[in-house]
Structure 1
Amino acid sequence: MVDALPIAPLTRTEHVWLAETDGMSTRAQVAAGSGPYLSSVPATIADYRPSVPADLAADVEEAATALAGLDSYAAATLGLDDAVLGPMSSILLRTESTSSSQIESLTVGARQLALAELEQSTSTNATVVVGNVRAMEAALDLADRLDERAVLTMQGVLLSAQPGWDAHAGRYREGLVWVGTSGISPRGAAYVAPQAALVPAAMADLVQFIARDDLPVLLQSAVAHAQFETIHPFADGNGRTGRALVHAILRAKRVMTRTTAPVSAGLLTDTEAYVGALTAYRAGDARPIVEQFTRASRYAAATGRRLVDDLAAQVDAAREALGALRPQAAAWRVLPQLVAQPVVTSRFLGERLGMNAVTAQRALQQLADAGILVERSGRQRDRVWVHEGVLDVLDAYAASIRRH
């Protein structure tokens, strides 16, 4: 029997719900949806003083060390200041964003995501996941000032990529939200969030907790995430914003300073345990959610190293294939972009590298002649070039998470 990590449980208040038809529910369903229900009241955590069991404290320290090790390893392997390898680090952020989105059943392959970055994807999911990438980037950019405005900005960036959600972007919700199968009533829902009027005070309390520097960082990140999901401050995007917040905390507290660990990939391997841990947190035991994050962090550190190695191998192979090309050739400037963006166009090279059309076409042809890029659009104009090796590595990583 393991020792719990006690935390004040949420309480509940009773309200009455009057269900309205959505045009698809039956009259009986509308009638059943009307009546009393309980909504959550989150406990305050700004002054939370955890009594951490010794075994859990050791687990937290080990997992944080593993994340820091990945950060150092990725920086050394990718060479963040290296003109060729530096841009590769952004692919770790994209991998984390993709995994975080998949927890919300937003699945997209590496090719479609890369096409969405070029605004050429026909996949709605891909466009939405790009929004999550941008939210993660915003989270890291705002890590030095993690206040309420920063959290609102993260969610605003995220929802700006979701058609029809503009009115809810970057602002706290004004209505009730719940997790359940009914779209017209919170009655019988698995979780009913706090009333909207409670959100601002609860978020102010959470921000005070995040600002503290007297807690183990990974424990602080896990508790902050669970509290955020308990508050559920937004009309949509709570899960993805809450996981982006974790990375902002890891950056702010200097655990991960240069790269992004695929922690959500670790959570994705057992989403049932992740959801169960959030339920346990709300009932007064923070240990399960901390354990989920330590497990996910170790998974991220171990598999992240392999991902870095596999991507570095693709760059090494490409450099060898270009070996006979003169050092001033335009292809060398394009090479570092291909890991972060394995699907490219001449327009992309113009915007990213400032190449004119002739130079961009020459670079693409040089890379194609070396067997690094393949033209996949079949068009005469606006042609699309693909690095199949990088896409295969990213898709293999995603498949390994599903197998796990």
Structure 2
Amino acid sequence: MHGTTWPAIAHETLEWRSRYDTDGLSRRQRVDAALRSYDAAVPPVIAELRHAPPAALASELEEAAAEASRFDVEMGIELAPYLGILLRSESAASSTIENLTASARAVAAAEVGIDSRGNGGIIAANVQAMRRALEVDGPVDAPAIRQMHAALMVGDRWHEPGQWRAEPVWIGGSSISPCGATYVAPRHDRVPELIDDLVRFLATPDVSVLQQAALGHAQFETIHPFTDGNGRTGRALVHAHLRATGLVRQVALPVSAGLLASGRAYVDALTAYRAGDPDPVLRLFAEATLRAATEGRRLGHEVRDIRATWSAIVTARPQSRTWDLLDLLVRQPVVTAATLQTELGLAPGHVRRHVDPLLELGILKEQRVHRVRGTYWRAPEILTALDDFAARSGRRLPLR
């Protein structure tokens, strides 16, 4: 089917059978559990759909795609040793959209095994999911999506990482019943076919990459193929597609930071998409991409300047591994002795030889953690730059 219209989702009425013992429920919850039917979404297949946005919006999308490409080239040249800093920032912003927040220090500490409890550990898992997205070789397919989700949800006791859901999921309303929910995702047995259709859409050569990424993301969130982690996986999918199509080859463009700044507009755009109007989500992605390039450059330049300052005050000999440690701290601003042994090949007895001079210069700060009977070191300037980036990303733009 070709044309400029985009169909709204349909609905089907399904029977609800509560899994809950009503004895321990409140009166309101017992009413919810007693409801017997609900309307689930039936999304259209989109592989053959084409949409022609208004000329002004089409121009915005072209400009945003060109800016993403420029950003990739510039940052790939300027920040080649430090690309992980953008990846971590994007992962944190994607998690913040889901109201999962943690300091850069907590996330970095979780990454090196200091403390993986709480949101720091969840966001650290999101960093791994983003890495999986950037490792996708060739067009995105269903196994790649499941691998991203598995990385995101690793160790989760309540959900099945990397497995399509086998139960209803919904947004809004009661926590114990989909009846009366704001949105109920399609019946679980529709998921594999809908994902295959989405994959075919992402592989079509006659749709612009950024339009594919935006509409593909909206369709993924409409399908909601997992019991949890759909938003973060869906944004990782955007990165996988940008990388697989070659629009962004070297860096993680912090698109989620741009979406985060849009506030309620993100939810409203997804709602409009489901009602048959894809233009709000296209406009949102164009604006988010442009903002991502602006904020990503700012963070990149801040990190570059911090690293240059370190080089000016460190007096190690030219071949010293201390220089490698400085580069590592930009990518991983919290380290342990085990980190330095693994990443830099330092012998256990040589770790302090490289750490102590950086402590004296204030580049590193030492932290003892009793419960793990160990010590870790943090680079406060890098962590502050990351937290500042997160704060800027969280500033809401005026809704239009």
User: Does TM, normalized by the shorter one, top 0.5?
Assistant: yes
- Percent of aligned pairs with the same amino acid: 41
Q: Which residue of 1 aligns with 2:29?
A: 29
Which of 347, 360, 363 is 1:356 aligned to?
347
Q: Please identify, of 99-108 and 48-57, the stretch whose mean Cα deviation from structure 2 is larger.
A: 48-57
Equivalence map 1:1-400=2 (5 Å):
6-21=5-20, 25-33=25-33, 34-78=35-79, 80=80, 86=81, 88-121=82-115, 123-165=117-159, 168-322=160-314, 324-377=315-368, 382-400=374-392
What's the CA shift for 1:97? 0.6
- Partner letter of residue 316 of structure 2? L
| Secondary structure class of the residue paired with 1:203 | helix
Distance in 2, matches of 1:24 and 1:121, equals: 35
Match of 1:83 in 2: none
| CA root-mean-square deviation | 1.8
Distance 1:7 1:378 in 2: 55
User: Number of aligned pairs?
Assistant: 391
- Note if contact 1:19-1:30 (Cα within 8 Å) is conserved in structure 2: no
**1:259–1:160 distance in 2 versus 1, CA, 3 Å:** same
What is the alpha-carbon distance in structure 2 between the residues aligned to residue 371 and residue 29 of structure 1? Answer: 56
Amino acid at match of 1:254: G
State the distance in 2 between where 1:67 and 1:360 align.
40
Cα distance in 2 for partners of 1:403, 1:120 equals 30
CA offset at residue 271 of structure 1? Answer: 2.9
TM superposition shift of 1:329 = 2.2
SS at match of 2:38: strand
Give CA-to-partner distance per residue, 1:368-403, whole Å, 9 cap, x none: 233311213277973211111111111111111223
Report the Cα distance in structure 2 between the residues aligned to 1:273 and 1:357, rounded to whole angstroms.
51
Instruction: For residue 14 of structure 1, report the CA deviation from its aligned partner.
Output: 0.9
Report the alpha carbon displacement of residue 16 of structure 1 after superposing the two structures with TM.
Answer: 2.3
Q: Which letter maps to 1:377?
A: R
Amino acid at match of 2:205: D
Contact 1:346 1:364 in 2 (8 A): no
Check the 8 A contact 2:40/2:187 in 1, yes or no.
yes
Structure 1 CA distance for aligned equivalents of residues 46 and 323 of structure 2: 52
Q: Which moved more, 1:5-14 or 1:345-354?
A: 5-14
Contact 1:112 1:123 in 2 (8 A): no
Instruction: Indicate if the aligned counterparts of 2:257 and 2:288 stay in contact, CA closer than 8 A.
Output: yes
d(CA) in 1 for partners of 2:308, 2:386:
17
Local SS of the residue matching 1:72: helix
Residue 403 of structure 1: SS of its match in structure 2? coil
Query: 2: distance between equivalents of 1:59 and 1:143?
Result: 28
Check whether the contact 1:128–1:161 (CA below 8 A) recurs between aligned residues: no
Amino acid at match of 2:178: P
Instruction: Please report how far the alpha carbon of residue 366 of structure 1 lies from its aligned counterpart in structure 2 after TM superposition.
Output: 2.2
Give, as a single letter, the amino acid of the residue that structure 2 aligns with 1:326: R
3-state SS in 2 of match to 1:307: helix
The one-letter code sitting in structure 2 at the alignment partner of 1:130 is A
User: In the alignment, is the contact (CA less than 8 A) between 1:13 and 1:40 conserved in 2?
Assistant: yes
Unaligned runs of 5+ in 1: 81-85
Moved more, 229-238 or 377-386: 377-386
